Amino acid sequence: MKRITAILLASVVAFASRGLAQSPGTVEITAFANYTWFDNGLVLDDQFGVGGTLSLFFLPHMALEVEGHYTPTTTSLNRDVENIPPRARITANIPLAGKATAFQLGVGYVHSSYRKSVSFDDNGVTGLAGFRVGFTENFALRLNGTVDYIPDPQDNRLTDYLNWGAQAGLSFLFGNRYDKDKDKVADKKDRCPGTPAAAEVDPNGCAATQRDTDGDGLADAGDKCPSTATRDPVDENGCAADQRDQDKDQVADSRDKCPNTKAEESANETGCAPSQLDKDSDGVMDLADRCANSDRGPAVDENGCSASQRDGDKDGVVDVADRCLATPEGERVNADGCPLDSDADGIADATDKCPGSKAGEEVDENGCIRLSTTLILRGVMFATGKNVLTEGSEGILEDVAKSLAAHPNVKVEVAGYTDNTGSRSSNVRLSRQRAEAVMKFLAEHGAAPAQLSVQGYGPDKPIASNKTAEGRAQNRRVELTPVK
């Protein structure tokens, strides 16, 4: 019995899911006449009876029904019997057409009582199938067939039995919320009762083509100003006077300071595009104004600049303070508007190939140490009796290496000299080793090896007297001599 009930209940739910019927809370009352075909095993005459049904819809398509009816009959021995089978069931109402018309399918419980000349009660499963034919949305003819299955009769009169029935009656529905346009919004709440089929609607039952959020008489789909105050007169676009935007820049005409903005330009909060702005009110639009904060009084040129603001060479120094009015565009300048010369060698940084020249050094047109004559490397010193350069010597030699790298066609002899202290042979050897140390350093810092040759002259060719300490110090030197 439980298995049969579960199967019938699943069938009801499956059919009910196909469509919507009455709304939750609807109450249906039915009065009917019925005819019952009793199971042959009961030995009762088939007879007419009367009854009624009370239905409460707890879901849009599902109702809980209770039913009772009375059927008088007789046994084969002409003994009177009364059959009273109260039923409780869940019934699905599947809409078939408009109004209240629906296909009905139900399953539930029956308690079949037999009285008068007999007295026994049986419990079983009841089923219902039929139609409700709607005359209006609240009044209908109901035609149903029923079956009661009793699996275990009382006192083992029978193994089981079936009673069949037919019902015809009139139904009255109360509290039903109908939806004529099938948009799932009840007619009582539907502000747009004629919604097109399949259109998406809002909670008020209105589709986009029907919705008028601001109540100005123009549907939202064609309303370019959907937030108009309801009492304000509007134009064909649904816009009130304070909402109109003739140049379509998203700024209402009433607030637009530039009402003729071009369609391809973006406007600011005042409705003006960059090509329309003149923040300093000098008559030159900001896009072309090179002096956007010029004074309003003085006359300005085509660039929007007054005399006190002009910068002819565009070096960032106004002409009235610029000592170098023709500085090449893009070149870095000092506060006077002149090209920077960081090492103060007379060659601007932009063309100085040796920007780290020491103060006082003679340089060529590239800003590098001049190598056209013999150059004594003053300040280049070695550890006593060795060919190891001191730390202070390296900075001087780095500048020399840069100069050689800047003049790849120049070749020089690196010549080492000593004073006359000690034997001549040892001094010649030491002078060459020191010259070689200088040559190695220059090659490692940019000079090409092919530019360099080396020679050690020892105490030969002194440039000062060897009789004094000061003279001997001058004779201990390294020179660079150009060679062809």
Identify the domain containing residue 210 by its residue range.
Answer: 180-218
- Quick one: 337 and 404 in the same domain? no
- Quick one: 167 and 187 in the same domain? no
- Quick one: 195 and 331 in the same domain? no
- Taken as a whole, the chain contains a residue count of 484
Count of C-beta atoms within a 10 Å radius of residue 471 = 14
Indicate whether 137 pLDDT > 50.
yes
Read off the pLDDT band of 384 (50, 70, 90): confident
Q: Which residues of 444-468 are buried (b: 16+ CB within 10 A; e: fewer)?
A: ebebeeebbebbbbbbeebeeeeee
Indicate whether 309 pLDDT > 70.
no
pLDDT of residue 371: 61
The more confidently predicted of residues 218 and 125 is 125
Highest mean pLDDT among 16-30, 380-394, 432-446: 432-446
Region 367-395: mean pLDDT is: 76
pLDDT of residue 231: 65
- Quick one: 26 and 161 in the same domain? yes
Residue 335 — left, alpha, or beta (φ > 0 → left; ψ -120 to 50 → alpha)?
A: alpha
Residue 272 resides in a domain: no
- Quick one: 107 and 131 in the same domain? yes
Indicate whether 227 pLDDT > 80.
no
Cα distance between residue 415 and residue 222, in whole Å: 95
pLDDT of residue 423: 92
Position 76, amino acid: S
Position 420, amino acid: N
The answer to whether residues 292 and 304 touch, using CB atoms and an 8 Å cutoff, is yes
CATH code for the domain in which residue 461 is found: 3.30.1330.60
Cα distance between residue 108 and residue 55, in whole Å: 13
Count of the separate structural domains present in the chain: 4
Question: Of 199, 198, 204, nearest to 186 (Cα)?
Answer: 204
pLDDT of residue 110: 97
The more confidently predicted of residues 353 and 59 is 59
pLDDT of residue 83: 96
E-strand stretches of 242-384:
375-376
Region 18-30: mean pLDDT is: 74
pLDDT of residue 336: 66
Helix-helix angle 424-444:391-406, to 10 degrees: 60
Location of structure tokens 């290496």: 401
pLDDT of residue 166: 97
pLDDT of residue 64: 97
Cα distance between residue 22 and residue 29, in whole Å: 13
Averaged confidence pLDDT in the chain = 79
pLDDT of residue 395: 81
pLDDT of residue 67: 97
The answer to whether residues 3 and 40 touch, using CB atoms and an 8 Å cutoff, is no
Read off the pLDDT band of 11 (50, 70, 90): very low
Percent residues over pLDDT 70 in the chain: 67
- Quick one: 21 and 166 in the same domain? yes
Q: What's the maximum distance between 2 C-alpha atoms anywhere in the chain? A: 170
pLDDT of residue 149: 96
Range of lowest pLDDT (115-129, 284-298, 440-454) = 284-298
- Quick one: 211 and 113 in the same domain? no
- Quick one: 89 and 198 in the same domain? no
- Quick one: 14 and 144 in the same domain? yes
pLDDT of residue 19: 39
Residue 227 resides in a domain: no
Highest mean pLDDT among 351-360, 377-386, 392-401: 392-401
Residue 435 resides in a domain: yes
- Quick one: 76 and 109 in the same domain? yes
Q: What is the DSSP string of 198-229?
A: T----TTS--TTT--TT-SSS-GGG-S-TT--
Q: Which of 120, 150, 174 is at the close of a domain?
A: 174
Residue 361 resides in a domain: no
pLDDT of residue 12: 42
pLDDT of residue 99: 79
Residue 294 resides in a domain: no
Residue 260 resides in a domain: no
- Quick one: 116 and 196 in the same domain? no
Residue 233 resides in a domain: no
Q: Are strands 477-483 and 375-376 parallel, antiparallel or unpaired?
A: antiparallel
Q: Tell me: the pLDDT tens digits for 75-126?
A: 988 999 999 999 999 999 998 876 789 999 999 999 999 999 999 999 999 9
The more confidently predicted of residues 108 and 359 is 108
Q: Tell me: the pLDDT tens digits for 241-285?
A: 666 677 776 677 667 667 677 766 676 767 676 666 666 666 566
pLDDT of residue 84: 96
pLDDT of residue 390: 80
Residue 262 resides in a domain: no
Indicate whether 10 pLDDT > 60.
no
- Quick one: 13 and 27 in the same domain? yes
Indicate whether 135 pLDDT > 80.
yes
